[in-house]
Structure formats: C-alpha cells, structure tokens
A and B are shown apart, each in its own frame.
Chain A
C-alpha cells in the first residue's frame, strides 16, 4: 500500500496567515493527489484534485502543488471558515489511501 504522511498534525494560526500543509507519499504517485477539508461532524469536502486543480467554487486562496512524492496545500490568507482537518489522498494505486490529517485551528 502507498503510505501518505502529512505534517504537521496540528497547526494553529491567525486570520490572514499563510498556511502550508505537506503530504509525502511512500512512493511516486505522479500528480494523482487530492485534498479534502473536513469540519467536525461533517463529511469531507473535495478542494483540489490532480495535485493543483481547484474544484469549482473553492476559494482561490487555496492552492496545491507538487509531484512525485512531495505535495503541499497552501492557504494564502487564512480565514475564520478555514478551520477543520485537511486530508490528502492518493489515487495512483489501490487501495486509495489518505494521510492521517492536519487539524487547523484558528
């Protein structure tokens, strides 16, 4: 299985801060990576696919980059509604696997 490792596990930041979350794959996954945001008690919400493609309707302050084994999710200016846990997910191979999550506190 492809292991996905996120860092940090928890992140505390202020409104307006630039925030970066890292996701590393145990082997190359090209650009087959998605990012989700999950708020407490809710289902995950797709933000980014193919490493850097923003889902329609997702604010442009979210961006993704990377390829191979190292990826980042950046929030350019953190907003109050951006709290929650962020997960990366690879779809280069089966089984699909998720990172362990990064909790963002504001």
Chain B
C-alpha cells in the first residue's frame, strides 16, 4: 500500500514561485508515474502534467508549459512540482497522484493535497 504525504499549505505573492513536495512510502517513487492535479476552490480537477522517472520523461499540459517543472528525488523518495510566475488564478489545492503502471494513465493513489494561496 503506497502512501503519499504532501508538504504543507503555502501563501505566495503574485509573480513568485512555489515548490510542493510529495513523499512516498510503501513503494519507490521512481518505479511509478507521478502526476500533479489541481483543484481551484469549488471547481473540478485539472491535470497539470506527469513524469515517468524510469523513462526520464515529463509531459506537461500546454497551459502550464514553461511555468511548471516536475521532478523526483530517488534518495528521499519524493516527487516535486514547482510552479512559477504565480497569479491569483493559481490559487488551488494541488494533489500528487501516483500511477502504478508508470504510464500516467489513471491514478491509484493520491496525496492529501496542498493548498496554495496566491495573494498580494
């Protein structure tokens, strides 16, 4: 049973960056696919992108291209998502989601979510 524990809530200024972590236990993060999904207040789910560490590939949704970077650190079994040039519309809960098949298809396990608030 894989568990994903994310870092705590963040408050950021517009134009700054945020880096959210997602620590895995019960499995090696590099053996799976890791995606990041966000949910704005009262809204639905939005896939931001995903990485497949075994293949060294990342696939980002077009609207986040150039602003998002997803990585993993095998030594700490942690995945990271960094989003830059923050604006108020980026206020959302950010979830990491793990795909056991390592293809970033559907998501078997989810972190608890990290609230990122962007406000001046």
Contact = CB atoms under 8 A, between A and B. Distances in A.
Interface of A: 1, 32, 34, 36, 38, 43-46, 49, 55, 87, 89, 91, 94-101
Contacts of B107: 34, 36, 44, 46
B47 A98 contact: yes
B21 interface: no
Nearest to A87: B45
9 contacts: A34-B106, A49-B105, A49-B106, A89-B106, A91-B104, A95-B61, A96-B47, A98-B46, A99-B44
Contacts of A32: 105
Interface string B85-109: 0000000000101000000111110
A91 B104 CA distance: 8
B105 A43 contact: no
B43 to A, nearest CB: 9
Nearest to A49: B106
Nearest to B105: A91
Contact of A44 (B45, B49, B50): B45
Majority DSSP secondary structure for residues of A touching B: loop
Q: Name, among B45, B97, B113, the residue most crowded by chain A CB atoms within 10 Å (CB to CB).
A: B45
A1 B50 CA distance: 16
Interface in B22-69: 35, 37, 44-47, 49-50, 59, 61-62
Contacts of A34: 105-107
Nearest to A89: B106
A97 B47 contact: yes
A32 B102 CA distance: 15
A9 B48 CA distance: 23
Contact of B44 (A46, A94, A98): A98
Contacts of B106: 34, 46, 49, 89, 91
